[in-house]
Structure 1
């Protein structure tokens, strides 16, 4: 999820870009027909290059700097949707790739080689992705810069509002954000001409999201939060000035921008949207989807292979569910059990507060057991908050936002309380393990605290690793003192089943011509879900093709490597050491993870 959020924040201007335009080193006066001799790279030299790259990338992507707790660029916001910015990011990626590939990595040790290979791979993926006009699809119901801005400017997000300077920084940034509305509209108009448009069913959900941000007055706006919570210590003159300037920004800039985008989509874009939902229906769509699959899973698995893996996992997990049915002495078919656990009142929360209290109540129990499984434990705290009302209808059941690097802002586990009867008590323990401890907060916060890693790795991510780890974390529940209730263990199986179903339906949608309705029906028939969840999830897969594949593919790889280590090491296997080895290098492609666990096993066998 973190990779999605960062890409939303910077509008697909990936972090793999920089501002240094230095030339790559070459040998002196090479013959005209020979290739330049590469300079042998040292870890120190590459660390300096990565540091230079990171500084340049933050200047180009100032929102990413804000998210990492670097406040130097909090007043800046490029026009992410402009052709000039797209060309700039492409040129920078090409220049940085040339710089690093001019160096010979053959003499690097294992850790330094991992950084080199990830750096090169990220840049190549970015450039490969230039083939596909994602910029023509700047908004969908699952997320965009326009749903992200209210979070950033609410006073409760990554943008700080502690000093007068902080407030002025946001005013400058938000005024720059007004240009994004017209640039996005222009890009969508180009998309209409090129036949690259969103499905109608998604854009119908976007309209109420945009309208919800438009306020009748400035003081009822989502962007008014910093003013309503302005520190008492501010001088009176600044309080008055900031109040007036925020009011003008909202009334003359942001509200008209959201309304303008809303009206364009309603009147011009919606009639041009497509009835199809598959990426394969777009120009070059088959190749585009295959690229997404490779990028998200960090494997060479084809959509057809992933589809078959999903079918096999669905069948296996449903077998486990039948054993739970026997344990609780439920009489009937699996479909009857699904209906029971989704409709019986005992599995619903009495109120939103009861839901939040339930999640918060898991902290102490799980924290007490964590040291039995982990030697690497993050220091950063996290909070549990409900998803904001304006985006809750289309948001996932849980989302995680990482903390700032300096610890001044905690990680945030967002729990969706929309349609409260659809949020089940039995879903609580597995979702907590996935999003909080020892899942996303654990892995991402720990990665940011690994100060020996280059910054592009500390604050970067691989979806298959991060989401695979989150799903793997759910499998540790019994060792962490939860899943003692068979229905909570059923919730764990349901969560795993859900990720396995994603392998079937995401590939079904985008490579096998499944319809939206076919996907929803498959989810309803094969899992314990509500129609609200099924619709939101189906439309998520339509909006971000391939991303949902990363969870199960990543989890299967981690489980495979753990089994391999247990079998190879026998009595020498230590779960705390295994988890430390998986986590100590941060998020890496699955092929890199596999190779480093193999080396770790070999080192343990020889000890």
Structure 2
């Protein structure tokens, strides 16, 4: 499906034949990308906020059916304008930009027919968790607070638009699985408070920076309380009644996305989209089975090393339950995560020449979403460097957060995983903004899983239980290939998926249920992790075989990150060109 991009050869042809023509085409493409980036910021004020652009912090995305249709039409028109630029006249770097943008735009247009906007609420997020955006807002001036007040006052309109989309989804037979939606009423209820000062939306008003004058603070707090009491809480009460009484009873009882209108084609598309490959669901399922068998054999070896005499399932039960593997309080767990990150930092020079400049920190996942979300996640820093990247860790029920998983998790979510990936992307020289902030799941999550394994190269897995944690996390991603395709393409039940997961990984019951529900709610996304890691690992083996003693792991890792986030075939072409260049140095 994807063309192989031989950048070095194309670059030579372009510059020899028509350097002036290339310069003109490059300039046209640059102007196109600048206009497209600005369009994206205007269309998604929340996206602008996450990128550190504060111009639209007083508004939300227009979720009306008319606005959605306009955005879809704009995407189609943007592809026409892109195709009008002569790709052959571009420099090699610009050809990569062109192909990357075209790949994504073509698939955004292809997915329009599936009308994903008819399911705007999920168990891991939606309008019921709109307060979460405050985590990335500056709150450094009076204007910042007034912008937030404007968003608070506008939120009821967003909630109404969301209800309209959900009603249309009911008409079209497009609804999420009920087993997931049963988690949402409690999330909505948490926004319905008697005291506005206890609302999650009020948190920014609990403390003010010195840059907000004392004379302004009381008025800002009063306006926030008024907006919450008179607009936000009533809007959520109305939404709760609609959701609980009208929507939830009509959600689908099955879990497979194939049950939806055009569902089989949708899952096939999602598998291709997330993995950036042409692999079928059956091919992915078989790859998963093979990886599960391989990793299980390595787990048996570690079990023997630590002297455990029981079966592997009994070892899993021991790891899930022995108190010595768990911290007693959320604060103890947070302190341990922060200490672990400091342990990793000085070892990074063993596997990289280039260390990104942007710093990162460790924060707890907000309490209102912690019970229903993953063990951890990463939030990229602002494009302009005004906000660091943050590694968010789940402190809910520390008794189900084992210490042996923390090393692999931190390597994946923080350094050298997602933080390196996103921070290095922001440092790409002279690349358009979409390339510097791009996120292709197979590349990004494949890198995160590959980064877990770099812990061996950094000497961080000296504890056999930490090594078992790494294997558990790799198994987790292999199990995904089997379970995701099993549920959505092969008729597996949720219970069968949970049981298969428990039989093959030492993850705790809390995590396993949340993970399986995540695969149900976001079909295909979880396939990208192992597929991406297998590709990066294969490229490393290829480079090592080709270069022999001249292979430099630090240089290889730098080159994987040098492209920014791209489809896997583009990454392979880049590494092939790098190998050829290194061979030419002999």
Name the TM-score, length of structure 2 as normaliser.
0.94
Tell me, yes or no, if structure 1 residue 150 matches structure 2 residue 131. yes
The reply on whether 1:97 has 2:79 as its aligned counterpart is yes
User: Alignment partner for residue 373 of structure 1, among 351, 355, 366?
Assistant: 351
Deviations 1:94-121 (A, max 9, x none): 1211111011111333321110001111
Q: Does 1:188 align with 2:166?
A: yes
Partner of 2:270: 292
The equivalent of 2:374 in structure 1 is: 396
2:54 pairs with 1:76: no
CA–CA separation in structure 1 for the residues paired with 2:35 and 2:489: 41
Query: 2 CA distance for matches of 1:234 and 1:108?
Result: 49
Q: Tell me what 1:48 maps to.
A: 31
CA deviation string 1:347-392 (max 9, x = no partner): 1112212211211112333221211211221111112112111111
Give the structure 2 partner of residue 475 of structure 1: 453
The residue aligned with 2:99 is: 117
| 8 Å CA contact 2:46, 2:61 repeated in 1 | no
C-alpha deviation, 1:39, in angstroms = 10
Q: Secondary structure at the match of 1:131?
A: helix
- Equivalence map 1:380-529=2 (5 Å): 380-529=358-507
Between 93-102 and 432-441, the greater mean CA deviation after superposition: 93-102
Q: Is the 8 A contact 2:375 2:394 kept in 1?
A: yes
Deviates more, 1:546-555 or 1:58-67: 58-67
Deviation string for 1:422-471 (max 9, x for gaps)? 10010010000000010001111121122421101112210110000000
Q: Report the Cα distance in structure 1 between the residues aligned to 2:162 and 2:251, rounded to whole angstroms.
A: 15
Query: Aligned to 2:535, what secondary structure does the other structure show?
Result: helix
| Matched residue, 1:10 | none
Q: Which deviates further from its counterpart, 235-244 or 558-567?
A: 235-244
Distance, in Å, in 2 between the alignment partners of 1:580 and 1:178 is 47
TM-score by length of 1: 0.91
Does 562-571 or 364-373 show the bigger shift?
364-373
Residue 329 (1) aligns with residue 307 (2): yes
Partners of 1:40 and 1:105 within 8 A in 2 = no
Aligned ranges for residues 140-219 of structure 1 at < 5 Å?
A: 140-147=122-129, 149-153=130-134, 157-219=135-197
Unmatched 5+ stretches in structure 2: 1-20
Cα offset for 1:151? 1.5
Cα displacement string for residues 545-569 of structure 1 (whole angstroms, at most 9, x for unaligned residues): 0111111111000000000000011
Deviation per residue, 1:507-539 (Å, 9 max, x gap): 011001111111111111111122211111111
Q: Is the 8 A contact 2:438 2:566 kept in 1?
A: no
Q: Secondary structure at the match of 1:390?
A: coil
Per-residue Cα deviation, 1:176-214 (whole angstroms, up to 9, x for no partner):
222111111111111112111111111110111111122
Q: 1:568 aligns with which of 541, 546, 552?
A: 546
Q: What corresponds to 1:62 in structure 2?
A: 45
Contact kept? 1:40, 1:104, Cα under 8 Å: no
Residue 40 of structure 1 deviates from its aligned partner by 9.6
Q: Which has the higher helix share?
A: 2
Give the SS at the match of 1:384: strand
User: How many aligned residue pairs are there?
Assistant: 565
In 2: Cα distance, 1:162 partner to 1:535 partner: 40
Corresponding residue for 1:26?
Answer: none
8 Å contact 2:127–2:159 — kept in the other structure?
A: no
Match of 2:241 among 263, 266, 278: 263
Q: Is the 8 A contact 1:41 1:103 kept in 2?
A: no
The aligned counterpart of 2:90 is 108
Aligned residue in 2 for 1:138: 120
Cα RMSD after superposing both structures: 1.5
Deviation at 1:241, TM superposition (A): 2.2
Asked whether the equivalents of residues 372 and 576 of structure 1 are also in contact (C-alpha less than 8 Å), the reply is yes
Distance 1:135 1:586, change over 3 A: same
Mapped partners of 1:316, 1:458: distance in 2: 36
